[in-house]
Structure formats: C-alpha cells, structure tokens
Amino acid sequence: MPTTTIAGHAVEVNDEGFLTRPDQWSDELGSELARLIGIELTDDHWKLVHFLRDDFAEQGETATLRRVSTRTGTPVKSLFELFPGKPAKKMAYVAGLPKPKGCV
Amino acid sequence: MQAFVSHVTAALSGGSQRSGYPWGYFRIMTTTTRSLVVLGAGTAGTMVVNKLRHRLPTTEWRITVVDRDDAHDYQPGYLFLPFGLIEPDQVRRSRHALITEGVELVLGDVDRVDPTAREVSLLDGRTLRYDELVIATGTTPRPDQTPGMLGPEWHRSVGEFYTYEGALALRESLAAFSGGRLVVHVTEMPIKCPVAPLEFTFLADDFLGRRGLRDRTEIVFVTPLDGAFTKPVASRELGHLLADKRITVETDFLVEHVDQERRVLVSYDEREVPYDQLVTVPLNMGADFVARSGLGDELNYVPVDKHTSQSTEHPSIFVLGDASNIPTSKAGSVAHFSVEVFAENFVEHARGQAMTHSFDGHANCFVESGGGKAMLLDFNYDTEPLTGTFPLPRLGPMTLLKESRANHLGKLAFRHLYWNLLLPGRPLGLPAQMSMAGKVPAAVSA
Ligand SMILES: Cc1cc2nc3c(=O)[nH]c(=O)nc-3n(C[C@H](O)[C@H](O)[C@H](O)COP(=O)(O)OP(=O)(O)OC[C@H]3O[C@@H](n4cnc5c(N)ncnc54)[C@H](O)[C@@H]3O)c2cc1C
C-alpha cells in the first residue's frame, strides 16, 4: 500500500486515496482530508463523520447512504448538500474508512 | 377455514408424543415433537422444507411453511416476459404442487414474529408456535418509496419487470413502443439479481433491433453505482458490452423523484433524465413484518452470521435467501448454495451439536447479453467474478465473463432444473463452495 503524508502524518492509502487503516485517522486528519476535496467541515458535517466512525467500530463496515440518513435523521437531500455529488464516497473518505460496499 | 385452523393449532401444539424413532441418539435427545416453522414458500423456503423433510424424522419434527398466496413464480422468467420470449404459464406454478408430503402449507400473511414467546402471528389472527424458525420472505420492489413513481402512469410509461403483473404490463408497452428514449433505471442497491437490469437492457437492444426500431431509439442505463456493475472485472467487461451496443450510461444517479407529467427522472443533485418509456427497478426491501418484529436493518433485512445464516440476535432464528443481510448477491443461486449448507448445519443444530458447515457466499449468475448469447459470473465473499471457464455438470464447461451461445442455452435450461431438481431439493451436482478451477485470477486478466 502506498504511504502518503497528510497534515504531517504518514498514512497508508489505496489507489483511490482512501485511508486503508482506520486507526490512523484523527479529527485533525479528517479536516485535512475534507479540505483536499474542497469541503470545510461544519458541525453538521462532524455529526455525520463521527456517526460513520462509531458505526464502523460497531459494524465492521462503512454505513451506506441510507443507513447514515435513517440513523442520524438527516434527509438524503441534505447529505447531497453537505457532501456534493457523491456523498457516500466523500463521507467515507473524510472519515478515513473504506468506500461503502453497499451492494453486490 | 375453522377446521383448518384447529388442525394447524393441534399440529403445532404437538404434545408429549413419545418418539418411536429407532436411532438411539434421537430417542435420547428428544422425547417430544418439535416444530420448525418456515416463513415464505419461495425459492429458499421451498428448498428448505423439501430438503429438511427428508432429513428430519416426522416423529421428531413437524414442518410448517407459510406463504401469503399459492402462486410460486420462477422470477428469472420475468426478464423474458416483456419480450414475449416466454409465456406466463411457464413461470407460475401452485405452491402446493412443489411442497413435499409431510410438510404443512399454511396460506396467510405474516403480521409479526415474537422471538421471546417463539410465536408467529398472521394478519387474520391465527398464531403458530415454533421451536426453530426460518425466515425466507425474500425482498420486494417498493415503488411507494420513491415520490412520483406510483401514479397514473405506473405500469404504463413507468414500467418495471420485477413482478409478474409488471412484466406482463411491460410486454404491452413494448409492443406499442415506436421509438424515442428508453431508460432502464435502478433506484438503489442492493436489488435482487443485480445483473437483471443490464440483461434487460441488452435484450431490449436486441428486441428493438429485430423490430427495426433501434436506430429510432436511444437506450440509456441509469445507475446509482459508479459503473455498470459493482465488481471491477465484471464492470469492465459489461461496460465494454454497453459501449459496443451504443447504450449510454448515466452513473452515480440517485433518484429523488419521478415526474410523470414531464417524463423525467430527477436526482438528489438535481440532474434530470428524460424518458419516453421508463423501465425502473424500484427500491427493494425485506418484508414489513421484519421491521414490526424489531428484527431488521434499514431495509428490513435480518442481520445474520454470513457463514451459518443464523440470526445474530436470536439463535433459534435462521434467515435464508434474499431476506438476510449477507454481503453477496440476492439471487436464486445463492439461496440454493446457502440452503445446502444450512440443511447440513440444521441437522446438527437439531441434535444440539455445534454447526460445522460454512457458507462462502458462492453466487453463480448467467447474464443474458442479447442475440442468443449470455455470459456467466461465478464469485463468493472473497473472490470477485473472474474470466476463464466454469465446469458445469451435464452441460459442459461454460465461459466466464464472455458471451457465448452455450451460456444462453444454460440459462434457458435452468427453468427446467429449477422446477424439477432445485425446488424438490434433489442434487444438481454443483458444489456449494466456489472453486477456482478454470478461473483466471484478476491480476493476470487485467
Ligand atoms: C427479474 C428477476 C430476474 C432474476 N433472475 C435471476 C437469475 O437469473 N438467477 C438467479 O439466481 N436469481 C435470479 N433472480 C432472483 C431470484 O428469483 C431470487 O433471489 C430468489 O427467488 C430468492 O428466493 P427467496 O426465497 O429469498 O425469495 P422469494 O422466492 O421471493 O420468496 C419469498 C416468499 O415470501 C412470501 N412472503 C413475503 N412476505 C410475506 C408475508 N408477510 N407473509 C407471507 N408470505 C410472505 C412471498 O409471497 C414469497 O413467496 C431474479 C429475480 C428477478 C425479480
């Protein structure tokens, strides 16, 4: 796995730039990852990012968009406003988690 | 009905009937008749009861299966109905005829499961007590979950082929179609048979070509995914096919609503896809009683151990087929392979022993690609669909991820195998575990 330096920390990423080791993540890193995709994290963003982190710790996989929406009570429309274009992928990226598998 | 009800109740309350079964350990382990209740007599439920009836002595286990109606459909046939490639009577049979002797079929709608009382209530007020429960109620298209999908144009310019009625209505719409924009659309993953929308697209291309309408039709495939399919090697191969057939793909499209008046799909990020004929796959969800019983996730799928199909919360509940949350395709082939593993395990579980068999997520799907050809995908939890060949007993080696006539014939032959071997629980000769024999590893094929 390639290693890269983000916010002064050496982290392992895959070829799409997603962190491959969720334990290398921190809030500071999250802000920097968001900045790299042009997002300034607000409280609304943080609520979702922290939900994703907690849910991953419990479930062992990244929550799908629907799961984030129902569990946090955030309408899907708002998820698209907060993480434009590809909210599921972008949330996972910022939270240092693998892309949601979602489906086979 | 009344006599039937008391019959069921009597059957299920069992009593302390002594076991006459000659094998010593059964007699020692069990002195009363226990009750296995299976919810859903579709692909998985039918195989479960037919297989287990032959494995569990009638003196030890009563087996009851519940379904809301008496029509068992061969759902893969829905794909062919809209093009007139199969007739309605070839896809539907009475459930009674498919269920082996010694199994009681109860017709009724499941309202709720109470895992503490080990009781199932039906909507009409009847209750069934169980010692062990199998949930096999599948997944259903839910157009009601997308604003504007159900409306005056439902089953007309807004078509679908995931139900018997929908597939038949679409046959009418396609017969009257004279060109324009044909949009094939997937609402959200997961859906059962995730390749079916692509197959529909390929068959539509073929159908329109034969009717001389292809040049007057723009075919668009609209998906919430970032490519034709989820798995990389398959996505690449299927992507080529779409391009070859001049089919446009709109990716990362999550529908927010359907505007039937303007005939457009509108996404959450405010993109619009206009259509003349829409063929949508609505959101697929597990049964509502799963949610009412507090057993499901966001889409009413029951969380299970992916190797044993046992509920993570309730050890006497197993979930087979599309109703569970296992991370593989929702497909008849998966139901088949996982039921084989489950049947072995359940016999052990019934004796109070540890379950020693493990399901690997094996899925095997023929993909119709039009022009009398098909491809074959074979994969499991750990290995994505690869290229190469697949050793199919009786029909010979099939090419994986490449179009061939043999694959198409294999797909057609499958309907007969389904009714005559698969549902009765007879061996097909296909191993439940996926094998790497003949497959080309991704690193080499790339
Ligand atoms: C268009 C299409 C094409 C397909 N093609 C393929 C293919 O090529 N290959 C393949 O492997 N798979 C294919 N499939 C998928 C396959 O049909 C399903 O995966 C399979 O039938 C799942 O079996 P199941 O037993 O889990 O669910 P089902 O067979 O759907 O059975 C569920 C049963 O539960 C009953 N039920 C539900 N709720 C209740 C309730 N509340 N009370 C009472 N009864 C209830 C229903 O009536 C139904 O009979 C296709 C599916 C479709 C729609």
Q: Is B95 in the pocket of ligand 1 (CB under 6 A)?
A: no
Strand partners, B36: B63, B132
Q: Is the dihedral of CA B98, B104, B108, B114 positive or negative?
A: negative
Question: What does the pLDDT look like over B112-152, one tens digit per residue?
Answer: 999 999 999 999 999 999 999 999 999 999 999 999 999 99
Rg, chain B, Cα only = 23
CB contact under 8 A, A70 and B298: yes
Question: What does the pLDDT look like over B271-286, one tens digit per residue?
Answer: 999 999 999 999 999 9
A100 assigned to some structural domain = no
CA of residue B11 to ligand 1 center, whole Å: 28
Domain hosting A10: range is 3-94
Q: What is the ipTM of this complex?
A: 0.89
CA of residue B44 to ligand 1 center, whole Å: 8
Task: Give the nearest chain B residue to A88 (CA atoms).
Answer: B252
Say yes or no: do domains B33-138+287-350 and B143-279 share a fold.
yes
Domain boundaries, chain B: 33-138+287-350, 143-279, 363-445
CA B128 – CA B8 distance, rounded (Å): 8
Model confidence at B23: pLDDT above 90: no
> Known catalytic residue: A103?
yes
B328 vs A61, A76, A104: nearest CB: A104
Q: Which residues of B touch A90 (CB under 8 A)?
A: none
A104 assigned to some structural domain = no
A102 assigned to some structural domain = no
The SS3 call for residue B138 is coil
The third-level CATH classification (topology) of the domain covering B33-138+287-350 is: FAD/NAD(P)-binding domain (3.50.50)
Q: Which residues of B touch A61 (CB under 8 A)?
A: 327
DSSP B19: P
Count how many domains chain A has: 1
Q: Does domain B143-279 have CATH number 3.90.1580.10?
A: no
CA of residue B128 to ligand 1 center, whole Å: 23
A101 assigned to some structural domain = no
Average pLDDT over residues B97-114: 98
Cβ atoms within 10 Å, residue B413: 14
A103 assigned to some structural domain = no
Q: Is B82 in the pocket of ligand 1 (CB under 6 A)?
A: no
CB contact under 8 A, B190 and A104: yes
Model confidence at B366: pLDDT above 70: yes
CA A44 – CA A67 distance, rounded (Å): 16
* Cα–Cα distance list, A76 to A67, A92, B222 (Å): 10, 15, 19
Give the residue, out of B75, B279, B362, with the most ligand 1 atoms within 8 A of its beta carbon, to mutate for a pocket test. B75
Question: What does the pLDDT look like over B289-301, one tens digit per residue?
Answer: 999 999 999 999 9
